[in-house]
Amino acid sequence: MTAVKNLLIVGDSFSSEQISDQFGWPVLLKQDFAVTNLSSPGIGEFKILQKLQSADLNKFDLIIISHTSPNRMHCQHNPLYPEGHIYRNSDVIFADAESKIAITPAADHLVYYYKYVFDESYYQFIHRCCCREIDQLTQNQKVLHITHFDWDNLYVFSGMVNYYNFWRRNQGKYAHYTKEANTILYQQIKQLCWEIDENM
C-alpha cells in the first residue's frame, strides 16, 4: 500500500490544528504524511475556497477538504472577537452571536439580522456556488471531501464522507471530538487517503 506523501488540509475548526492539541485527527495524520494545514477555526465555505485558491494544489498528492455550514455570515473580521483572538478571522454563526449578547454590542445587531433579515435560501445558494467552484478547482486533484455538519439538500461532492452523526455522539474539546473519537477519525481518514491514492 502506497501512502500519500504530501497532504493538504483545508477547512474550518473541525480540521484546524489550533484546537486539535496533540490529540486531534489533523495532527495525528502527521505521523504518516507531510501535512500542510490551512484550516482556520470558524471560517465559511467562501474562505475555504479562497484558501484553496491561494495554494499551489499541484504540490500535494492529496487534499482533504472539511466543508462547513451554509449558515455562516461572511465577514473580513469577526466583530465578536478582539484583534489577535483565534476566532478573529472567523465568520459569524447565530449560536455564537446569541451567546455573546451580554458581552458585546455587536452581538445584538447580528442576532437581529439572523432573526429578521437572514434568508436561508440565499445563503444556501452562495454555499452551493462556493462548493461548485471548489469542485471545479480540484477536479484534477485527488480529493477527500468530508463534513461534520448536517448536509441535507446541499451540494453533492463525489465520495463525500459525512461525520455529522458521529460528531453528535462524540463531542469533545479536540477538534470538537473526544480523544477516542479523534483516534477513530484518524484511522478512517488515513485509510481513505490511501484508497484514494491507489484508485485514482
Which pLDDT score is estimated for 37? 98
The reported pLDDT for the residue numbered 81 is 95
Report yes or no: 161 and 144 within 8 Å, Cβ to Cβ. yes
Gap between the Cα atoms of 73 and 190, Å rounded: 32
Could you report the average pLDDT of every consecutive run of 10 residues in the chain (200 residues)? 81 97 97 97 98 98 98 96 95 96 94 97 98 98 98 96 98 98 98 89
pTM above 0.75, yes or no: yes
Domains and CATH numbers, the chain: 6-73+124-199 (3.40.50.1110), 76-117 (no CATH)
Say what the pLDDT of residue 3 is. Answer: 59
User: Given this model, what pLDDT does residue 197 score?
Assistant: 87
Q: Exposure pattern of 155-184 as b/e (b: 16+ CB <10 Å)?
A: bebeebbbbeeebeebeeebbbbeeebbee
Q: What is the pLDDT of residue 199?
A: 82
Give the phi and the psi of residue 135 in degrees, each rounded to 5.
-60, -45
